[in-house]
Every structure is written in structure tokens, then in C-alpha cells.
Amino acid sequence: MIDIKNLTIIDARAKLMKGEFKASELLEAVLANIAEKNGEVNAYLEVFEDARTQAKAADVLIESGATAPLLGIPVAIKDNMLYEGHLATAGSKILEGYKSTMTAHAVQALVNAGAIIVGRANMDEFAMGSTGENSAYGATKNPLDLNRVAGGSSSGSAAVVAMGGALGSLGTDTGGSVRTPASHTGLVGLKPTYGAVSRSGIMAMASSFDQVGPFTKTVTDAELLYSVIDKQDPEDMTSVPNDARPTAWAKSHFKIGVPEDFVNNEGIDADVRAKFKEMLAKMEAKGHKIIPVSLPTLPAALAVYYVLVPAEVSSNLARYDGVRYGVRVPGETLLDTYKNTRAEGFGEEVRRRVLLGTYVLSAGYYDAYYNKAALVRRKLTDEVAEAFKGVDVIAMPSAVSPAPKIGELSEDPTGMKMYLADILTVTANTVGVPAISVPMGTLDREGKDLPIGMQFMAPHFHEQYLFGIGREVEALR
Ligand code: GLN
């Protein structure tokens, strides 16, 4: 049997080309892991029926000498990505039974590159959450410790790779939803520059924050997936033409900025801080420069995020009204139908954000909340740009702790514990820069080695820096 858990995309590709195994055999090994583990982990909401047909077609192509970057590679997509003719529910009851009528640009890019789309992965409802527990279809469990969460919102996209149910996957990251689950499951997760990957065909959460990004076992695999999906798309007006993006090559020595006050924050687990410093020291010993950076507005990023994101959420989710898509709960009048459908179809966190967002956008409060947050966003963006004049990347831990236990954050009735888990990740989305999470080691928690990630941000379209520094972490950990 092929050892999927230790197989990278790069290796699998070489072995497929050499004929060591066929694409259909590779898929069977993946399907066997899914059959064994998905019942407990709840990572896949559905394994697509046509996956075997795709793999057989890849067998024929490989035999005929064809090549493509992902030919025969089994990958998963998040449940908020459209794939024509297949179900997509964004982890919500309101979209139960909804079938995509088009394919997302990023998913099409995978298909065009020869990937086998294995299935759709579980997620927090409409990508709102940090643990994967807000899915209407049940929480995803962490394959490394079933008492713990896999991280969210792209919980399933992380867990499928960690359990050997795919070699890579796509998630979406609006405020950390790729990096947090990557940190909790020992994977590499990339949040590309805003405008690098098309949002067309991705169910919108907060349109000025959302980006699609890959989950993989290694930085080089992440680079490969990114190179497939990073193409400009005229269907997304925020998608930047490839030839208008600054070119950045990875370097061998980096100037690493560290916002010291912020990473000394007590809200971050002391062992996580210690590991982070240990890795910085190793990097310094290798000749990289560690430079303190001042980002005075950083502590306000979370507040800014939780004003602006609900505002965009309340607007984007207005379309789920029981008339156009999915579930419909009829009432006496049209207004009753809207109310019934949204009350029954949306879960608690989604309703909370819609209410919050509607409030901050309402006439009397718009200036006090929405406009104020937009101004602070601008200030934070300027500070980050200023910091990048002196450093190549900015380093922080990826998450405040290793994977929390099921219920640890979600049982707080105010929702605040869940929100505070995002303090380290929301900045990259708020200012639009790319960020990566790379495993930096493990911490012992009740006898289990739980992974934790190191995070780097880089200037706009400098993903190459992230791959370069990420490989350094892989070599030093
Ligand atoms: N946890 C954050 C939130 O709930 C991030 C979600 C995301 O990136 N989709 O908003």
C-alpha cells in the first residue's frame, strides 16, 4: 500500500511519471484512508463519485506521455468552492442540496493542471470560526488527537491532508482560516496576497479579505499548488494581472522583522512563545538578521477585523433568502419566508455576524464603527508598509496555542475566546499581504506531540520570500 501520510506531491508526481504506481492506485490508497478515518475525523462532507473516473483518465494520459503540473494528484476542495455539477454548502444548512452551476477559477486551475478532485471538505459555516466546530454538519476532529479541533475555518481541508485523505487541498483564508488549521495539524498553509488568486466561484465571506490558499505537507508542495492557482482572472475585478505583479526571488539571507511587544503578549501560550524564540535564535545562528519592528496599531487589528468583516458578511449573506438558493422555509408573506429561512437555515455564529454587521453599518453608527475601523485599517496598512522598508519578512507564531480541545473555545457564550484565537492571523488579511504558516516543532500536551506553526508575512506579491524562509524553518526545526 502506498504510504500517503509521508508522501509529498513532488514525490508522488515523480513516482507517477516513473510508473512506480498509477494515478488510480494512488487514489485507491487515498480512498482506503478515507474509509478508515473519515467516520471519526469528519473531514470530508462528500467524496465525489467521479473521482475514480478522473483517476482512470489520468492513467491513460500518463501512459501516453502527457505531463501537467498536478497530473494524477488527489486533492480536496473546501465546501465553499463551486465545482460544476457537484454539491457545495459552505458548511451551512441553508445551502443543503445546492448544486454548483459553474466552477471556481481556482478549482478549474486544479482540474486543468490534471489534479483529481477527491471531494469537498468540512468547514465552519460560511467560513466563520477558528476551530471547525461551527459547521452545520458536525465538527471536524484533529487526526493527530481526536479530542481536539483541527482548527478553522478550513478544518476539513487541513484534516484530509493530515489523515492521508489527499496530498494537498485548497482552503480559504479571510482572517486565518488556512494558517490556523495548518498550525494545528502540522501542515504548511499559505494565505496569498489579496488579488493573487481569483475569488470567482468562491462563496464570499468578506470580499475585501478573502483569499484561496493551499494546504500541503511541505513548503515546496505549497509553492507548486500556488503556482497553479495564482493566475489572473477577468471575472474577479480585484485579481491583479500576472505581469503587473512585482517580481521577487527568494534570497538566501533574510532580514526578519519581529513585533516584539506583540509577540510577548500574555494571550499567547508561553511554550509557543519559547518555541518561536528558539527558532528565531537558530535562524540568527544561520546568518539571518532578526530586527525588532514597531507596529503600534497591531493590537487594534482584531477589533478592526471584527467590525469590518461582519459588515461585509451582512451584505454578502443577504442573498441567502430562501428564494434563490438551497433551503426555503415558507411563511405567510415574502418577508416571513425570508425570516423563517434565515432563522432556520443559518447557525448561531452566522446570525451573530449578520446582526453585528448590520448594526455597524446602520445610519447612526456607521461613522463611529465602520468608518473608524476603515481608517485604522489604513493606518495599519501604512505601518506594515513602513516596516517592510527595513525587513524582508515579519515573523510571529501562527496560533496562540496548539490545537484546543473540542469545546474549549466554542463553549464560551460570548464568542470572545474564539475571536481572540485570531489575533496573530487577521493582520495579513486586513492589510492584504501574503502570509505562510510552517510547522516549527511540537509541544507535549497530555502525552501527545501537538504541532505548532511559525508565521511569516511578506510584502505584496512576495510569496517567493515566504517559500524561501519557510524552507529555512523546515531545515532548522
Ligand atoms: N476565525 C476568523 C473568523 O471567524 C477567520 C475566518 C476565516 O479566515 N475564514 O472570522
pLDDT digits (tens, 9 = 90+) for 154-204: 999 999 999 999 999 999 999 999 999 999 999 999 999 999 999 999 999
Asked if residue 421 has pLDDT above 90, the reply is yes
Percentage of the residues of the chain whose pLDDT score is greater than 90: 95
* Region 428-448 average pLDDT: 98
Q: Is the Cβ–Cβ distance between 91 and 124 less than 8 Å?
A: yes
Top mutation candidate among 122, 157, 177, 427 for ligand 1, by most atoms within 8 Å of CB: 177
* Region 67-88 average pLDDT: 98
- What pLDDT does 355 receive? 97
Top mutation candidate among 128, 170, 410, 417 for ligand 1, by most atoms within 8 Å of CB: 128
- Ligand 1 atom closest to Cα of residue 425: 5
* Region 32-36 average pLDDT: 98
* Region 206-229 average pLDDT: 98
- Ligand 1 atom closest to Cα of residue 172: 9
pLDDT band at 415 (very low <50, low <70, confident <90, very high): confident
**421 CA → ligand 1 middle, Å:** 10
Asked if residue 47 has pLDDT above 90, the reply is yes
**474 CA → ligand 1 middle, Å:** 26
**55 CA → ligand 1 middle, Å:** 33
- Ligand 1 atom closest to Cα of residue 178: 8
CA torsion sign for 37, 43, 47, 53 is negative
Q: What is the mean pLDDT of the chain?
A: 97
Binding pocket residue ranges, ligand 1, CB within 6 Å: 127-130, 153, 172-177, 205, 309, 422
Atom 10 of ligand 1, nearest CA residue: 128
Top mutation candidate among 81, 92, 124, 304 for ligand 1, by most atoms within 8 Å of CB: 124
Asked if residue 413 has pLDDT above 90, the reply is no
**Which residues 6+ apart lie within 8 Å of 28 measured at CB?**
none
- Between 249 and 7, name the one with better pLDDT: 7
**306 CA → ligand 1 middle, Å:** 10
- Grid coordinates belonging to 210: 478573502
- Grid coordinates belonging to 221: 508542495
- What pLDDT does 414 receive? 86
**Residues annotated catalytic, as ranges:** 78, 153, 177
**211 CA → ligand 1 middle, Å:** 11
Residue with cell 487577521: 426
pLDDT digits (tens, 9 = 90+) for 301-323: 999 999 999 999 999 999 999 99
pLDDT band at 366 (very low <50, low <70, confident <90, very high): very high
- Ligand 1 atom closest to Cα of residue 206: 9
Top mutation candidate among 422, 424, 437 for ligand 1, by most atoms within 8 Å of CB: 422
Neighbours of 438 (CB within 10 A): 29
- Ligand 1 atom closest to Cα of residue 174: 8
Q: What is the pTM of this model?
A: 0.98
- What pLDDT does 247 receive? 86
Q: How far apart are CA 204 and CA 424, in angstroms?
A: 22
**35 CA → ligand 1 middle, Å:** 29
**356 CA → ligand 1 middle, Å:** 15
- Grid coordinates belonging to 169: 487541498
CA angle 34, 39, 44 (to 5 degrees): 55
- Ligand 1 atom closest to Cα of residue 418: 1
Q: How far apart are CA 359 and CA 108, in angstroms?
A: 37
Q: How far apart are CA 273 and CA 265, in angstroms?
A: 9
Q: How far apart are CA 259 and CA 34, in angstroms?
A: 41
Taking CA atoms, 28 is separated from 9, 21, 23, 61, 190, in Å, by 16, 11, 9, 18, 28
Asked if residue 324 has pLDDT above 90, the reply is no
Half-sphere exposure of 279 (CA within 13 A, CB side): 29
pLDDT band at 326 (very low <50, low <70, confident <90, very high): confident
Neighbours of 4 (CB within 10 A): 20
